[in-house]
Amino acid sequence: MARLPVIDIAPLVGGVGDPIAVSAELDHACRDMGFFYVVGHGVDPALQARLDVLAREFFALPEDEKAEIAMALAGRAWRGWFGVGAELTSGTADLKEGIYFGAELGPDHRRVAARVALHGANLFPRRPSGLRDVVLGYIDEMTRVGQVVLAGIAVGLGLDRSFFVRSLTADPLILFRIFHYPPASPIGSTGRWGVGEHTDYGLLTLLGQDDIAGLQIRTPAGWVDAPPIAGSFVCNLGDMLERLTGGRYRSTPHRVHNASGEERLSFPFFIDPSWDAHVERLPIVGRPLDEDAAARWDRMSVHGFAGSYGDYITAKVERVFPDLAARSTSRQGRH
């Protein structure tokens, strides 16, 4: 059975080792499975442990208290808590609840003032009171790691280390989620997954997991488990890296089923292109290796759309939360 590679990125962070060799490992992993583990990232384990503790405290609260930061209250900022079954994948309700976060932006930010989707202030709960500082500190650390991995990927593609920062991520769209998966019934009895088969939208995802397995990756040989490895993040490519490389790198489908009989937490962090960026195929890549769009989970080709990244992700998120999107559009129309 195929296993995901484990890549030590310490040489890219500034540790001992050969950064060129690490970039070659990243390139191979991106061409092969589009999924890999990263270690040597330098994120403080104490910060991750504190985030886990506080997240569990929040999800243990009564639903009426969690609803004090419900996503509907954030409008088009798409921040806050949603309950089990409120998020859809391919039209089917996921068996999870979660909190959406992003870069903390005040009312004077130009995109917030313009009511641009996915921009605004985060919603933080009354309890646990320490969650705000920990989440914002974690977002800062993960942004650093994401830029480091992208720099390594750029070198693996034969580009300058600063390529992504110069062209796509000088002002990245930063998204962070905390997901809580309750124990699930066997798939055959419900037809529902913790998260159904999907790909991620942007450039790069860095996933923190607790010690409960559940993540699965689709490969040519079938579905492969990606169990937790202490001290690691699971890293996978989003649709924009597939688009950028003409299919040389793949945005690999994945899904989650918590069959453990216990609660499971995951912490996906997304570093995406700038909102206004237009992601075009690299000159170093030839004709797109585009798969049949009908074979994709969403029946859409990542090479077939025109517009900015903001256009792309807005359309995707509105399909994930259709009721929230309808309320948000209606509310915007009354202003």
**pLDDT truncated to tens, each residue of the chain (335 aa)?**
468 999 999 999 987 889 999 999 999 999 999 999 999 999 999 999 999 999 999 999 999 999 999 999 998 899 999 999 888 887 788 899 999 999 999 999 999 999 898 999 999 999 999 999 999 999 999 999 999 999 999 999 999 999 999 999 999 999 999 999 988 656 544 557 899 899 999 999 999 999 999 999 998 888 999 999 999 999 999 999 999 998 889 899 999 988 888 999 999 999 999 999 999 989 876 655 555 544 555 666 788 788 999 999 988 888 787 766 665 544 443 33
Domain boundaries in the chain? 6-333
CA geometry: angle 92, 241, 321, nearest 5 deg: 25
Strand partners, 70: 81
CATH number of 6-333: 2.60.120.330
In terms of Cβ atoms closer than 10 Å to its own Cβ (0-12, 13-18, 19+), residue 244 is buried
Number of H helices, E strands in the chain: 11, 14
Q: What does DSSP assign to residue 199?
A: -
CA 289 from chain center: how many Å?
24
Asked if residue 259 lies in contact with residue 251, where contact means CB atoms within 8 angstroms, the answer is: no
Give CA–CA dist 201/242, Å, rounded: 10
Compute the CA torsion angle 319, 322, 328, 331 (nearest 10 deg). 140
